[in-house]
Amino acid sequence: MSGKNVSVGDEATSYLRYWNGEDLVTRLKKIEGQARGIIGMIEKEQTCSSILYQLSAMSGALREISGIISTCEMISNVLGDLDNVDEAELKRRIVAARKSQKL
């Protein structure tokens, strides 16, 4: 990220670019693969404990994505009315917001 100013829109989705949209898509595709794997485990009648372990991993991945999207919404509500925001400051606030969500 450079120190340039960026225009901040009213849409929370405008903040997703600071999390690399491809990264979110990649994460969701991994979750999709986990879901297919869990379906296969159920069809093969694998142990409940094995299935629960995989469900727990998938649930954690979904919580992480939900946290990112929630942070985007929070940041847009706080900064959405500003015409220009310094990109470095926005990144700092995003990182701080994500850390506070994990407390």
73: CATH = 1.20.58.1000
What is the arithmetic mean of pLDDT over 70-85? 66
Which pTM value belongs to this model? 0.63
Range of the domain at 73: 5-101
Higher-scoring residue by pLDDT: 80, 47: 47
Specify the number of domains making up the chain.
Answer: 1
The band of 19, judged by pLDDT with boundaries at 50, 70 and 90, is low
Q: What is the pLDDT of residue 13?
A: 47
Residue with tokens 């649930």: 59
Whether the Cβ atoms of residue 69 and residue 101 lie closer than 8 Å to each other? no
Report the SS3 class of residue 80: coil
